Amino acid sequence: MILVYMKATNRCNVGCTHCYLPLEVRADKTRMSRETLSSAAAFLSDMRRYRNGDKVHVLWHGGEPLTQSADWYFKAGELLDRELPGHTESMQTSLIPLRPDHLPLINARFDGLVGTSVDFSQRMIGGSVDAYHKLWQTKVDMARNAGIEVIPGVVPTTNELGREEWIVDWMVERGFAAFNVDRYNAYGTSFPDRPTNRQHARFLDGLFTALMKRMETTGWAPVNGAIRASITGVLFGVGGDRWGGTCMNDFVVVEPDGSLNNCPDKASFEESYGNIADGYKAFAANKFRRKSIRHQALEHKESYCFSCENQHFCASGCPITPNGPAHGEDECSGYRTYLSAVRRFSEQPGGRDTMIAYLNQAEIGSKLEVATRYGGENNQGACAA
């Protein structure tokens, strides 16, 4: 699947400190023109043709996509339906600017599903995390009252370490059937509250432990894409989420002005990979894109990866996560200590059954399973919504 991060605008007025976009980019009010959108449709039709009819999924991203009106998205959708028939769409939003007129849009165009980021320590309104949560919850309620399924996404900072069980309980108490965890990346910059790879591995371990405990005691636990992918990796050698992807080849990020990249976390920090108006062939031949594909496939792996028990499904994980001590990290980019903990759990009496019961909660292709899959149908993200 071709996954397109389509940015109608980079504008956002929510103001999270861990945002992957620099402040000046978030202040930019430029909106994607119809010409750029039309060029995008032609570009993606071509890309699809060169890839033997691969599916195209357009993820409306930003910036904050809901700073734009529902009408804008309906018109954009009509254009894409006409010029890129057969594509599908979804949206990732903070939900903060959600208005009643957005609700029919989400139901009609995004299959009644919306991905939203939730933050436990940094987003504030009037200096208060609590006030932010209250406002966010009113928007979640507004969406749910319209029959929309809301899937929260968490980017753990060092403030969330050790709070994994609390986070699972928080999701359960608020009735979320699924949630996602994204990695706090620091491509081209650094943040003091970004967990190291070892800390992120411990966070995943804490989450896994809390979810499996809930499975054992209640027979149900919220679906989480990263945890599912680690289980399918360890039990069946099938990666997903940040493990084993080909995002550099499959993802396209389209900025409001048509500039291109292949990773949303890199896009603001690298020279662009050309412009959508230049067409797909120019993008395919772009030397920076080719370099990034080569890096993911070959150069990101370290010698220890070739003898690692996870290598067949890990493929060294997200290619912009530094891979181990040679790159200033305390653990590899596949979070091996976490995968080892999953393997140990599977070998305990009843462990494998609990893990399989967890997987079986969301049938492959069901709404919740798709909403927690990073990178679309083939799990080709080393990395979606």
The footprint of ligand SF4 (CB under 6 A) covers 185, 242, 245, 247, 251, 263, 265, 304-305, 308, 310-311, 314, 316-320, 323, 332-334, 336, 339, 381-383
275 or 316, CB closer to ligand SF4?
316
The token duo for 366 is 């069901």
209 or 311, CB closer to ligand SF4?
311
Mode of pairing for the β-strands spanning 2-7 and 149-154: unpaired
Helix (H, G, I), strand (E, B) or coil at 222: coil
Separation of alpha carbons 371 and 224, rounded Å:
9
Helical spans, DSSP H, in 129-196:
129-145, 164-173
Min dist. Cβ of residue 370 to ligand SF4 (A): 17
Min dist. Cβ of residue 265 to ligand SF4 (A): 4
Provide the sign of the torsion angle of the four alpha carbons 126, 23, 95, 116, taken in this order.
Answer: negative
Min dist. Cβ of residue 69 to ligand SF4 (A): 28
Q: How far is CA 309 from CA 99, 336, 355, in A?
A: 49, 9, 19
77 or 324, CB closer to ligand SF4?
324
Helix (H, G, I), strand (E, B) or coil at 7: strand
310 or 361, CB closer to ligand SF4?
310
Min dist. Cβ of residue 176 to ligand SF4 (A): 23
Min dist. Cβ of residue 73 to ligand SF4 (A): 23
10 or 323, CB closer to ligand SF4?
323
Round the CA-based radius of gyration of the chain to a whole number and report it. Answer: 20
Min dist. Cβ of residue 301 to ligand SF4 (A): 6
Burial call 204-225: b when 16+ CB within 10 Å, e when fewer: bbbbbbbbbebbeeeeebbbbb
Which residues are CB-neighbours of 231 under 8 A, at least 6 positions away? 342, 355, 358, 359
84 or 315, CB closer to ligand SF4?
315
